[in-house]
Structure 1
Amino acid sequence: MNAFLDWFNSKQDIDPVLKAAFVHLWFVTILPFEDGNGRITRALTDMQLARSEQSKKRFYSISAQIQAERDTYYAILESTQKGDLDSTDWLEWFLDCLLRSMAQTDETITAILKRT
């Protein structure tokens, strides 16, 4: 956990959105607690995404999108953790999931604007 926290809190030469994907994968793989690992993982992921945008306000929720896609999420997570440690498929899925969460927010905002 110390290595994870040191890495999480330090600045690296890595795109901050990609770092969010790795934060998620690494923490959920470590599973340091008896309960609450998923919630903490999603909170850390959201925190890193907020850092990537240098903003405290975000209108999309990757956590909600992961929940909506949980079957696919668990499948890609398992194949990444039990495979040859190549995280390419995980990164592709995470980034696509992030885009889908933003698209969902766009649809919601458009529907709200139409109603008003």
Structure 2
Amino acid sequence: MDHGAADHCGDSGSVERHSHHSEAVKGNLTSRLNRIEGQIRGIKAMIEKDTYCDDVLNQIAAVQSALNSVGKLLLEGHMKSCVIERIQAGEMEVVDELLVTVKKLMK
């Protein structure tokens, strides 16, 4: 069965695109996001307990770092799969799409 770019990233006429992460990658990302979710709940509890602000801020920095790591993994996978496939299919607009996304990530 041939799996072209349309199967992985959606065809160029499609409004909704999909990724094609392996089960191992999905598991890794889900695990990381579950930890981040727990950290967020921990920060909320810290605020409710009137924890010293510097301690809360350090936890916020840790969550931001963890989210950045998830973003980097997703960006790498996206560039190595969907972006390459779309460029090979002649869909050069993916470069502009990627640039907008990278700018958002770098804020």
Q: TM-score range by the shorter chain?
A: 0.3 to 0.5
Does 1 or 2 have the higher relative contact order (CA < 8 Å, sep 6+)? 2
Q: TM-score of the superposition, structure 2-length normalised? A: 0.37
- Rg larger in structure: 2
Instruction: With the length of structure 1 as denominator, give the TM-score of the two structures.
Output: 0.35
